[in-house]
Amino acid sequence: MSIIIKTQQDVEYMRISCKLAAEVLDYIAPYVKPGVTTNELDKLCHEYIVDVQKAYPSPLQYKPSPKNPPYPKSICTSVNNEICHGVPSDRVLKDGDIVNIDITVYKNGYHGDTSRMFYLGQVSPHAKRLCEITYNSMWYGILQVKPSNTLGDIGNAIQKYVESNGYSVVQEYCGHGIGKVFHEDELQVLHYGKPKTGATLLPGMIFTIEPMINQGKRHVRFLSDGWTAVTKDRTLSAQWEHTILVTNTGYEVLTLSPNMPNPPAFIKSLTT
C-alpha cells in the first residue's frame, strides 16, 4: 500500500486532535511530582481526555498485533531505564526520576500523538543532559522535513547528532504515519540511517518524529507485561515526540501547546 497523503480536510481534523494531545501534557505537568503514582497520572489524563475534551485515549485497549495483549491504560509512562510503552501502575515516582508521558487523543475520527519528558524533583546532571540531547535530536530531525528530502535525511540527522554526543539510538521503534489510523504502517520514520534513502517527502504527509535515545548501548529488553521496553544495560533512556505535517515549503509542528518547552535556539520557526 502507498503512503497516505492527507487532504486539507484531513489536515484540519489532525490539527484539532494534535492540539488536544499537547494540551493533555500541559494539563498533567503540575501533577508530575515525587509521591504520585503512574496510575494516578493515567487516571487524571483519562478523565481530562474523556470528560473535558470529549475525546478518547487512543492507547486504551489498543492491540496492534496478535502477540500483544490489549494495552490496558490510557497513557504510556516510561520511567528512567524504560524506553517506551511503560504501563501505568502503583509505582510511586520519586525525587530524581525522569519520566516520559506519551499521549494520543482520538477526536472526530483522527489521532494526535505527542510525548514529553518530565523531571521529578532534583534530577542528576547526566539525566538532564540525556533529555536535552534527545529533545535537540528530535528538532534536528524536524529541520529535515521538507518536500524532496527523504525519510533517511531525518534519521541521519538524528543519528549523527546523538552519536556525536556519546549516546545511542534505539532501532526497534520508529516514528509513524498517523491520521485516521493510529499507526500507518506504510510510513515508518527511522531515527537512524543514510541521507537520500527511503521515501521522498511530499506535501500532505503527516507522521511522528519520536527518537528514543539511550545513555548506554542501544539494545532493548522487553518486560513480561507484553508492552514495556527497557534498556538491556539498565542505563537511562529518554524520548520526545511531535506530530509533523509536510507543507509545500517545509513543515508544520501540529502538536504545539502554550506550555510546551521552548524549541532549541537553532529553531527559527515552528512552521516553514
Three cell numbers at 171?
A: 532501532
How far is CA 154 from its chain centroid? 15
Q: Which amino acid, one-letter code, is at 216? A: G
Three cell numbers at 3?
A: 503512503
**34 in helix, strand or coil?**
coil
- Per-chain mean pLDDT for the chain: 97
**29 in helix, strand or coil?**
helix
Give the C-alpha separation, 186 to 167, whole Å: 29
Q: In angstroms, what CA-CA distances link 64 with 42, 58, 74, 88, 185?
A: 21, 12, 15, 19, 11
Q: Which amino acid, one-letter code, is at 162? A: V
DSSP bridge pairs for 78: 100
- Domain 8-253 belongs to what architecture? Alpha-Beta Complex (3.90)
Residue 160's CB is within 10 A of a number of other CB atoms, namely 14
Give the C-alpha separation, 264 to 139, whole Å: 8
Q: Which residues of the chain have pLDDT under 70?
A: 1
Residues near 263 by Cβ (< 8 Å), separated by ≥ 6?
139, 270
User: What is the model's pLDDT at position 71?
Assistant: 97
At 234-271, the pLDDT tens digits run: 999 999 999 999 999 999 999 999 999 999 999 988 87
User: What is the model's pLDDT at position 268?
Assistant: 83
Report the DSSP pairing between strands 251-253 and 184-189. Answer: unpaired
Element (H, E) at 126: helix 125-143
Residue ranges per domain, the chain?
8-253
User: What is the model's pLDDT at position 1?
Assistant: 65
